[in-house]
Structure 1
Amino acid sequence: MSKLQDKVVIITGGAGGIGFGMAKAMAKEGAIVAIVDVNEETGKASEKLLQEISPRSMFLKADLMDRENLPNIIKTIVDNYGKLDVLVNNAHASKQLTIENITQADLDLSFGTGFYPTFFLMQAALPYLKETKGNIINFASGAGLAGHETQGAYAAAKEAIRGISRVAANEWGRFGINVNIISPVANSEGVQAWAKAQPEYYEAVLSKIPMGRFGEVEEDIGRVAVFLASEDSRYITGQTMMVDGGSIMLR
């Protein structure tokens, strides 16, 4: 049997990039994946591709900044499939600005697409994850761990996500729920565009990765997500998994 056979998975920001890479990796292991995204055109196209692997998988359009609607995302998926096994909070948008230029609107964007949806979707998912002894996978970033310049709003929200993930791991471990974090460096569409726009900066970053490459969204990031969503990780919780080719080595 596949590692995630018939597990119901929600992935926010799942229509492209790392999110879709994880969706494909999980679907190939037997999961039923609901990709949640604000971009309907991309979402529908990704849904079609995903259903070739996992026919019951679906796309759900949702604006994660609509905070009042967040519980309805969980309810819609559970009503459709009857349960929830894995919640993956992957979506996040932010602007690159130095700290002195960050406005309240910039912080609202980063926290409104990243931290708040992560927090409130975890809350809404809790009753269902108790039933399945499920898994939560949240996302951090080297921007927060290393303090990258121009990433103040993004780093703040990412480190808030790491903090609440550790609290949830402590509070929800008694229910058999695992809460872990992935901090990736990935060869996503955004990174590919950045490489073309700023090749010198891209090469400078690449040169600092011990393994000499950016991770592949499905084969590298996706496979770690499969592990964290499976029974193989049942005794791991509250951990930040650095899926970054050795860029940051936690001590």
Structure 2
Amino acid sequence: MTDLSGKVALVTGAGQGVGQGIALALAAAGAKVAVTGRTLVKLEATSALVAERGGEALPVAGNVKDAASLAAMVAATVEHFGGLDILVNNAQEVPNGKLEDVSDEAFIAGFESGPLATFRLMKLARPLMAARGGGVIVNLASSAGIRWDMTGYGAYGAVKQATRVLTRAAAAEWGRQGIRVLTIAPHAESPGLKWWIANNPEEAEAFFRTIPLGRIGKLEEDIGRAVAALCSSDMAYLTGATIPLDGGQANFD
């Protein structure tokens, strides 16, 4: 069983969906977890679920599109728990739609909440992790960035692919400091996926037929536990990679 006892994690977008599932799995593995997001009541609900698993969580409300707010999240985590070992960059506003239908504002929001927030948080986390002998950063991407038909997914795929490039660069630059950096590309039963299914039922049905395992991932059991395993010492030689957690659907080769 994955053991993250003594580790401190910060998870963005942890009030629901994939972020919540990851936070719960990290806590179940023994990590103390700062759960961040825009809505405090959702973060408090996640913290209560962590407590049910015997873990400890710190809810920290903030806006990942604001640099000062990101710094405050990290500072609150370090002040409360004493350091930082694991960072999960999950929060993302989704600029979906055909290119002519995506506004500048939506694309900028996607960039600021995704790769720019990831860039900023990674740089805030690096010295803290290095001071503790290393750490693990997990960034979230999407198979939207490698679809053969990018119609309707160009803006979203672009910001997610930018995050993958940041992962590769950070892994190369910080590996000698003991910091591993990974990307996951999950399919999970998140609110965003449920919205997509409801609004694109025919496309969703066709998409699900391409998943070899025949189902969508469960938030905590499939996605969260995989992330916990990636953050453990058992995966100490893995860095710079994109790991699809999608039942075998995407091909990142």
Shorter-chain TM-score range:
over 0.9
Secondary structure of 1:245's partner?
Answer: coil
Q: 2:44 is matched by which residue type in structure 1?
A: K
Q: C-alpha displacement at 1:197, in angstroms?
A: 4.1
State which of 146, 166, 169 in structure 1 corresponds to 2:168.
166
Secondary structure of 1:136's partner?
Answer: strand
- Distance in 1 (CA, whole Å) between partners of 2:55 and 2:144 is 37
Distance 1:150 1:227, change over 3 A: same
Structure 1 match to 2:52: 52
Structure 1 match to 2:189: 187
Structure 2 match to 1:201: 203
Q: C-alpha displacement at 1:246, in angstroms?
A: 1.1
Q: Deviation per CA, 1:188-220: give whole Å up to 9, x if none.
A: 233234334443222111011111111111111
Unaligned runs of 5+ in 1: none
- Distance in 2 (CA, whole Å) between partners of 1:21 and 1:244 is 15
Secondary structure of 1:76's partner?
Answer: helix
Structure 2 match to 1:71: 71
Structure 2 match to 1:42: 42
- Distance in 2 (CA, whole Å) between partners of 1:54 and 1:148 is 43
- Distance in 2 (CA, whole Å) between partners of 1:240 and 1:165 is 9
- Distance in 1 (CA, whole Å) between partners of 2:212 and 2:7 is 35
Q: 1:134 is matched by which residue type in structure 2?
A: G
- Distance in 1 (CA, whole Å) between partners of 2:15 and 2:150 is 27
Q: 1:159 is matched by which residue type in structure 2?
A: Q
Is 1:138–1:180's contact at 8 Å kept on the other side of the alignment? Answer: yes
Structure 1 match to 2:96: 96
- Distance in 2 (CA, whole Å) between partners of 1:202 and 1:62 is 32
Is 2:91–2:114's contact at 8 Å kept on the other side of the alignment? Answer: yes
Structure 2 match to 1:243: 245
Is 1:31–1:54's contact at 8 Å kept on the other side of the alignment? Answer: no
After TM superposition, the runs of 4+ consecutive aligned structure 1 residues lying more than 4 A away are none
Q: 2:197 is matched by which residue type in structure 1?
A: A
Structure 2 match to 1:216: 218
After superposition, the CA RMSD in angstroms is 1.5
Give aligned-pair identity as a percent: 37
Structure 2 match to 1:140: 141
Q: 1:79 is matched by which residue type in structure 2?
A: E
Answer with 193-202 or 21-30: which moved more.
Answer: 193-202
Is 1:89–1:139's contact at 8 Å kept on the other side of the alignment? Answer: yes
TM-score, scaled relative to structure 2: 0.94
Q: Deviation per CA, 1:28-86: give whole Å up to 9, x if none.
A: 11111111000122122222222222442121100111123322211110111111110
Is 2:58–2:77's contact at 8 Å kept on the other side of the alignment? Answer: no
- Distance in 2 (CA, whole Å) between partners of 1:31 and 1:149 is 40
Answer with 1-10 or 115-124: which moved more.
Answer: 1-10
Q: 1:112 is matched by which residue type in structure 2?
A: E
Q: Deviation per CA, 1:105-155: give whole Å up to 9, x if none.
A: 121110111111100000011111102310000011001122632122211
Structure 2 match to 1:175: 177
Unaligned runs of 5+ in 2: none
Is 2:31–2:55's contact at 8 Å kept on the other side of the alignment? Answer: no
State which of 225, 228, 231 in structure 2 corresponds to 1:229.
231
- Distance in 1 (CA, whole Å) between partners of 2:243 and 2:2 is 23
- Distance in 1 (CA, whole Å) between partners of 2:194 and 2:227 is 22
- Distance in 2 (CA, whole Å) between partners of 1:250 and 1:198 is 24
TM-score, scaled relative to structure 1: 0.95
Q: Deviation per CA, 1:133-192: give whole Å up to 9, x if none.
A: 100000110011226321222111111110011000000000010000001111223323
Is 2:2–2:229's contact at 8 Å kept on the other side of the alignment? Answer: no
- Distance in 2 (CA, whole Å) between partners of 1:2 and 1:248 is 26
Structure 2 match to 1:117: 117
